[in-house]
Chains A and B, each alone.
Chain A
């Protein structure tokens, strides 16, 4: 029988949800124009009065917010509350330039804890469970996000953080971890380590895992489920919107429910800004109608996904999003073809003979883009004759060509030679310096 953390919200009727969203949106826009100079000026510049927004139907009248806006107002320029009301600061990695800084009031932390508690329950979590949090703890929202959700649920949090993989396994076995929370690539690494150590994953108390913070394919999910003998659930979020838990997968494992009582989603065409209908792929945008410290209006996430209002067998009425298939900035353009690393991953894993450890090396030779897919050798793949090995390389090349329309060269490399990650995996090496 399906369990919910908050059935009133998670299974609310459309009318109730629309009403809740409308009320909150109206309040939020008012608050933003009163307390955030950036929004006051922006709304004025676009000729929008807070009174123009009377319900959720008026959402599209509002302007978008970009990551650059947060950078321009670094660190606290877009906060809607005075310093004394902030109980926490987080920041995202900022691999390209300045960190993106976000803040939380005590109520924001409570709301966020409920988001991840909902995710834990959807993954079969109960107050009797040990929640093994192997996301990094620190400025990154992953660790603390799941941690507070575990405590909110009344379960027991084990704050292992990431790294020291042998110790992770000791903790799982000895401390009794039931639900593992980390990035999918780290879950793969833990799974491989368990296999190398000759441990039977079924002997561990793990039942389920909640994995997110990077895109991952259905095929990688099956591989993780096999290596760890668990059910693997997806989770989505970003610190600007709140943290992990903006959306979560349920037992149906076909898309993630968005906590739309707090985050109103839209899908837009990234080039024109036009709102797209359900089922069409585009950029995910969120409006944070409950947040106090950093309420964002129509924040462009740069993640590509689709939305659907089709009913879900789990009983939740919360709108669903597909797994993000990549970011607008993750996308590679190789010889004019748009390619997401996740697409290549799907092709590789479908062949069933390669591990999900691969590296895409993009280069430009004589003004022509080249793609080399480096794939790690496994004993299943290895054959004693060059003929068979070449035929395997050819199979991979052919699969890539027919699925993506992309002619790539394939290079088989030594096992374990592709760098493993404890956080988000680096799948692309773009040598083109564009």
Chain B
């Protein structure tokens, strides 16, 4: 249920994004989802890939600063209001969301939301209790 997300430090310099994504592409790894947090000086690129350990090794070898973070993924029905219910399930259980990003699944009528919360296992419990489907890593990596 815990998903491994890769975070990469990106200096605000022309071509850095291209460099990073090229490393991943060159080793044949597929990006499932991504998000970027930007400040005036740097960005943090967050990606979910189908082969996280290989990607991390390749990025580190290319001299990049990389870390792995545990995140959770919840499946949300693609209807108005469904997402709000999922987020409420977490806040009702006093769980703060550090950040999140979403993508549409190709297979079914569903949105997947990646969430970083302080205690992933508690987050999983709260979502499941609210009747939401928490996605496993294999599902996400192989979407």
Where the two chains meet, the residues of A that have a C-beta atom closer than 8 Å to any C-beta of B are: 377-379, 381-386, 389-390, 393, 411-417
Q: Give the docked Cα–Cα distance between A377 and B13 (Å).
A: 14
On whether the beta carbons of A414 and B9 are closer than 8 Å, the reply is yes
**B88: Cβ under 8 A from any A Cβ:** no
A-B contact pairs, 11 of them (CB 8 A): A378-B65, A382-B9, A384-B7, A384-B116, A385-B44, A385-B99, A389-B44, A390-B39, A412-B9, A412-B11, A414-B13
Q: Give the docked Cα–Cα distance between A416 and B9 (Å).
A: 13
- A377-B9, A414-B11, A417-B11 in contact; A386/B44 too (CB < 8 A)? yes
**B121: Cβ under 8 A from any A Cβ:** no
Given contacts A379-B65, A389-B42, 8 further A-B contacts (CB under 8 A): A377-B9, A382-B9, A383-B67, A384-B7, A384-B69, A386-B37, A412-B41, A414-B9
On whether the beta carbons of B42 and A385 are closer than 8 Å, the reply is no
On whether the beta carbons of A379 and B116 are closer than 8 Å, the reply is no
On whether the beta carbons of A413 and B67 are closer than 8 Å, the reply is no
A389 vs chain B, min Cβ distance (A): 7
Q: In the complex, which of the residues B39, B63, B67 contacts A384, with contact meaning CB atoms closer than 8 Å?
A: B67
Residues on the B chain within 8 Å of A393, using CB: 41
On whether the beta carbons of B41 and A415 are closer than 8 Å, the reply is no
On whether the beta carbons of B41 and A385 are closer than 8 Å, the reply is no
Q: In the complex, which of the residues A389, A390, A411, A415 contacts B63, with contact meaning CB atoms closer than 8 Å?
A: A415
B41-82: which have CB < 8 Å to A?
Answer: 41-42, 44, 46, 63-67, 69
Smallest CB-CB separation from B13: which chain A residue?
A414
Smallest CB-CB separation from B5: which chain A residue?
A384
Q: In the complex, which of the residues B16, B39, B67 contacts A386, with contact meaning CB atoms closer than 8 Å?
A: B39
Q: Give the docked Cα–Cα distance between A390 and B13 (Å).
A: 18
**B138: Cβ under 8 A from any A Cβ:** no
- A384-B46, A385-B99, A417-B11 in contact; A411/B66 too (CB < 8 A)? no
Q: Give the docked Cα–Cα distance between A378 and B124 (Å).
A: 32
**B92: Cβ under 8 A from any A Cβ:** no
On whether the beta carbons of B39 and A379 are closer than 8 Å, the reply is no
Residues on the A chain within 8 Å of B11, using CB: 377, 412-414, 417
Q: Give the docked Cα–Cα distance between A393 and B39 (Å).
A: 12
State the majority secondary structure of interface residues on B.
strand
B107 vs chain A, min Cβ distance (A): 29
On whether the beta carbons of B67 and A385 are closer than 8 Å, the reply is no
On whether the beta carbons of A377 and B65 are closer than 8 Å, the reply is yes
**B98: Cβ under 8 A from any A Cβ:** yes
Smallest CB-CB separation from A385: which chain B residue?
B98
- A377-B9, A382-B9, A384-B7 in contact; A414/B65 too (CB < 8 A)? yes
Smallest CB-CB separation from B16: which chain A residue?
A414
Residues on the B chain within 8 Å of A413, using CB: 11
On whether the beta carbons of A382 and B67 are closer than 8 Å, the reply is yes
A395 vs chain B, min Cβ distance (A): 15
B143 vs chain A, min Cβ distance (A): 22
Residues on the B chain within 8 Å of A385, using CB: 37, 44, 98-99, 116
Residues on the A chain within 8 Å of B65, using CB: 377-379, 381-382, 414-415
B51 vs chain A, min Cβ distance (A): 19
Residues on the A chain within 8 Å of B5, using CB: 384
Smallest CB-CB separation from B11: which chain A residue?
A414
Q: Give the docked Cα–Cα distance between A278 and B7 (Å).
A: 54
B38 vs chain A, min Cβ distance (A): 8
Residues on the B chain within 8 Å of A417, using CB: 11
Q: Give the docked Cα–Cα distance between A389 and B116 (Å).
A: 16
Q: Give the docked Cα–Cα distance between A416 and B5 (Å).
A: 24
On whether the beta carbons of B66 and A379 are closer than 8 Å, the reply is yes
Residues on the B chain within 8 Å of A378, using CB: 65
Q: In the complex, which of the residues A384, A412, A415, A416 contacts B42, with contact meaning CB atoms closer than 8 Å?
A: A412
Q: Give the docked Cα–Cα distance between A390 and B41 (Å).
A: 10
Q: Give the docked Cα–Cα distance between A415 and B63 (Å).
A: 7
B67-113: which have CB < 8 Å to A?
Answer: 67, 69, 98-99
Smallest CB-CB separation from A409: which chain B residue?
B41
Smallest CB-CB separation from A196: which chain B residue?
B63
Q: Give the docked Cα–Cα distance between A382 and B63 (Å).
A: 14
Q: Give the docked Cα–Cα distance between A44 and B66 (Å).
A: 69
Interface centre among B9, B67, B69, B98 (most CB of A within 10 A): B9
Q: Give the docked Cα–Cα distance between A384 and B116 (Å).
A: 10
Q: Give the docked Cα–Cα distance between A390 and B5 (Å).
A: 21
Smallest CB-CB separation from A378: which chain B residue?
B65
B9 vs chain A, min Cβ distance (A): 5
Residues on the B chain within 8 Å of A381, using CB: 65
